[in-house]
Amino acid sequence: MEQKFRGVFAHKDGGWTAAIGFEGKNKYLGWYREFDSAKQARLAAEIELFGAVFDRREIELHPDHALIPLHGRKGVFYGYAQIDLQDLDDVRDIAWTLDPRGYVAGRPPGFKTSTTMHRWIIYGEAKGGGVDHVSGDKTNNRRANLRIATQTQNARNTRIATNNTSGFKGVSETAEGRWRARITVDRVELRLGNFDTREQAAAAYDAAALIHHGEFASPNEPPLCL
């Protein structure tokens, strides 16, 4: 069984080295003949530098999928990413985390740059083309939730913006207290009208999204019934 531990690396000439990131630099902890010695050096450094050992989680295996733990700086645990069992061997040797956009990201062994898990699964390389998460959940990287998409198509399948004050996508309040519905199609804003209620404006947006965005439409949830 392969011996693995965060911050412990097999040396090309035998034995093991230990290291830890601290204040933006990689701190070398030494060379050790035994794996357990390097592991203990790493754990001691975590306590010395950060006051506690990092929160480590293992891969969880389920009948039809696996959960990949996501760790950040200082061992912070961000949750799990979902993958199909068929992709386990391709992702298990990469340390995955969440990037600022909420995507699962990591740097494959031997690569100088990081990649996102969904592109790695679909293309098997660090870059690759566009991939869209059907459900909008960026941690769900099961193949049924991934589809090839252009940048424009990917942008259509977005969730409500954090600065939205109406509670609905494509809806904003007018100066007169009514509710405006708008949608962007091929970088052109289409005005769908003003309505008495937010729900009516949201329904207008949802209908337009299905027409103009097709399978990449991301209507308001739950679907509105008027």
Q: What is the 3-state secondary structure (H, E, C) of 46-67?
A: HHHHHCCCCCCCCCEECCCEEE
At 174, which amino acid appears? T
Rounded-to-integer distance, Cα 18 and Cα 11, Å = 10
- pLDDT (tens digit per residue) in 173-198: 999 999 999 988 877 889 999 999 99
Q: What pLDDT is recorded for position 155? A: 60
pTM (predicted TM-score): 0.60
CA 98 to chain centre: 5
Q: What pLDDT is recorded for position 29? A: 96
Q: What pLDDT is recorded for position 191? A: 94
- pLDDT (tens digit per residue) in 46-93: 999 999 898 888 899 999 999 999 998 777 899 999 999 999 999 988
Rounded-to-integer distance, Cα 35 and Cα 16, Å = 6
Question: 153: pLDDT confidence band, cut at 50, 70 and 90?
Answer: low
Q: How far lies 63's CA from each of 57, 67, 117, in Å?
A: 19, 11, 21
Higher-confidence residue of 129 and 7: namely: 7
Q: What pLDDT is recorded for position 135? A: 84
Residue position matching structure tokens 């950060």: 50
**Nearest residue to 28 (alpha-carbon basis) of 16, 12, 13, 17:** 17
Residue 214 has pLDDT above 90, yes or no: no
Residue 167 has pLDDT above 90, yes or no: no
Residue position matching structure tokens 């679907």: 223
Q: How far lies 132's CA from each of 21, 75, 91, 94, 102, in Å?
A: 33, 29, 19, 21, 13
Which residues, at least 6 apart from 93, have a Cβ–Cβ distance to it below 8 Å?
A: 4, 108, 109
Query: How many Cα atoms sit within 13 Å of 205 on the Cβ side?
Result: 30
Tokens standing for residue 38? 């390097």
Question: 226: pLDDT confidence band, cut at 50, 70 and 90?
Answer: very low
Average pLDDT value over all residues in the chain: 86
Q: In degrees, to the nearest 5, what angle opens at C-alpha 144 toward C-alphas 152 and 125?
A: 65
Alpha helices of 7-87 — where are they, by DSSP H? 35-50
